[in-house]
Structure 1
């Protein structure tokens, strides 16, 4: 069989992903390709070179660069996905279980949630006037993500003006497309008004993303906002007298979920509140919950953090 270029095909896949608007995935594939070409010192790689021995050497090479388990796993999963796509298109015959025994899982290396007391301290505004303006803004976004049922920053940044009707916010998760419905509490509404986008030409609810950017430039614009947020949030604990605590854009989401479980909110309610996709049977079961059940769960968590009042979940 004629030799097929792995690197050439992988570049084709990256371009396909870009055309489909899947810029985040294309970004990950591009860095996986950099890792592979860096391993061989540049040049073209053919599918015939991808043996189990070669792949294990590649894995050891990335480990030698002191990359995290999750980074190594991501690169391996990308190579596997590209390989399987080539098999599906009948470009190569494929080898059974070629990637068996390699790192392909996800490892949680550190705790992403904080306690109710720690979150309350992080969100205190007593001394925020002494903070750099960028850190104060990031502190507000951390609070807003928490108040909106642990909404991820990607969803917060992409909220549109039409998503908010009165105190009801209805949008779709960027990651899964799952509908997310949030009853906006007064504390959250005050922050929304503070950062509401006043540009009539912008579709965005909040003043985070630039309206003029489109397609791939919009993706990289979002990535820059995310980097800024995480950079500022990393400074927040020390400014709040909590040195050693790690805070990032994930903190609000994981804290909301963890505290909800601690307050004995049913896992089905937590799942719906976070907008997680789930098995069809579970989705059918979740339809029985009304919006006020989610609002009740959110209120329990907010009161626990801000008032120190731990109210356990009680079914009506």
Structure 2
């Protein structure tokens, strides 16, 4: 008689199953109860969406909060108004300026609110007592005459200085287009004389009709070997291109300062100056605030108002003076007529 033995072999995987499940399990355990873990997850997710600037803001804010906290991890239970208030006071004692403090708080609040929306923690309003606004900015705009000085300044053809000068003017001509969006601008984004781009900061869609002065600059840098309009970036990989951009951005601003001195512009130039200058001159030309906000890609007109606040006060004072002069002049005329009749 034969005996048949059947052996069942059960293999148990201790690595959590498939790589996808394992990764999700690790992410879940990292986030469970951990605010700092959740922030790290948001940083990674935001980078996958190629929103590198936002991811950098989240990462910087988290590093700062952890330095204050003195630990590698902060739980959701610890995130309350007492912790945030103490963190804000710590930043002030360290001499951190008001706007930087606000940037940290806004970044942390944005991630915290996402965790609330996902049901990972209750809403305890931990940021209710700290400043998360935007203070009045110093005037960054230059005058119309300065724009013409930059147009006229002699620079070596084909030099980086010429590229910087041309792109600064292009940013101004294109309704204050941010330098990051110009650097990443591709030929495919221009069709039928219309330039279309998504603002990287707000994801707002902005459409601009190409004017001859803009087309002239584009033509100067036309190249069949690149998808980009301007020769700042070479890589088609988004992450590699962003690292290229960070290096070029620093060199761009450094060169702008040299260019400004060369052109005889009194105020120091930076990538933001072209944007602020367009907003200021548009406002002084009585362009409606909502139109300026749309052109700048702002999601809130309040942000636009900060750009032109000082100019607005000046226009208000001038308008009041003009009104009073007209009223008082008419009153004076009436008094003269009355005196004659008497």
How does the TM-score come out when normalised to structure 1? 0.75
User: In the alignment, what sits opposite 1:59?
Assistant: 88
Name which of 279, 284, 288 aligns with 1:257: 279
> Is residue 153 of structure 1 aligned with residue 179 of structure 2?
yes
**Rg comparison, structure with higher value:** 2
Aligned residues: 270
CA contact (8 A) 1:24 1:219 kept: no
* 1:269 to 1:78, Cα distance in 2 relative to 1, 3 A: closer
User: In the alignment, what sits opposite 1:128?
Assistant: 155
Q: Distance in 2 between matches of 1:275 and 1:55?
A: 31
* 1:242 to 1:149, Cα distance in 2 relative to 1, 3 A: closer
Q: Distance in 1 between matches of 2:297 and 2:55?
A: 24
* 1:85 to 1:189, Cα distance in 2 relative to 1, 3 A: closer
Q: Distance in 1 between matches of 2:197 and 2:115?
A: 36
Q: Distance in 2 between matches of 1:228 and 1:101?
A: 39
CA contact (8 A) 2:54 2:201 kept: no
> Is residue 219 of structure 1 aligned with residue 242 of structure 2?
yes
* 1:64 to 1:235, Cα distance in 2 relative to 1, 3 A: farther
User: In the alignment, what sits opposite 1:310?
Assistant: none
Deviation at 1:124, TM superposition (A): 2.4
* 1:163 to 1:5, Cα distance in 2 relative to 1, 3 A: closer
User: In the alignment, what sits opposite 1:140?
Assistant: 166
* 1:22 to 1:8, Cα distance in 2 relative to 1, 3 A: same
- State the Cα deviation string for residues 238-286 of structure 1 (Å, max 9, x = none): 222344x13211211221121122222334443444444569xxxxxxx
> Is residue 233 of structure 1 aligned with residue 262 of structure 2?
no
Let me know the Cα RMSD of the aligned residues: 2.7
Structure 2 unaligned segments of length 5 or more: list them. Answer: 1-31, 302-342
Give the SS at the match of 1:181: strand
Give the SS at the match of 1:83: helix
Name which of 117, 130, 137 aligns with 1:109: 137
> Is residue 209 of structure 1 aligned with residue 251 of structure 2?
no
> Is residue 78 of structure 1 aligned with residue 101 of structure 2?
no
Larger RCO: 1 or 2 (CA < 8 Å, sep 6+): 1
Q: Distance in 2 between matches of 1:36 and 1:278?
A: 28
CA contact (8 A) 2:36 2:75 kept: yes
Deviation at 1:47, TM superposition (A): 2.5
User: In the alignment, what sits opposite 1:291?
Assistant: none
Alignment of 1:273-284 (within 5 A): 273-277=295-299
CA contact (8 A) 2:53 2:201 kept: no
- State the Cα deviation string for residues 134-165 of structure 1 (Å, max 9, x = none): 33321111111112222221222222212334
CA contact (8 A) 2:196 2:205 kept: yes
- State the Cα deviation string for residues 170-214 of structure 1 (Å, max 9, x = none): 444334444433332332222112222331xx322222221x341
User: In the alignment, what sits opposite 2:118?
Assistant: 89
CA contact (8 A) 1:213 1:221 kept: no
Q: Distance in 2 between matches of 1:138 and 1:250?
A: 13
Deviation at 1:60, TM superposition (A): 1.9
User: In the alignment, what sits opposite 1:12?
Assistant: 41
User: In the alignment, what sits opposite 1:100?
Assistant: 128
CA contact (8 A) 1:196 1:207 kept: no
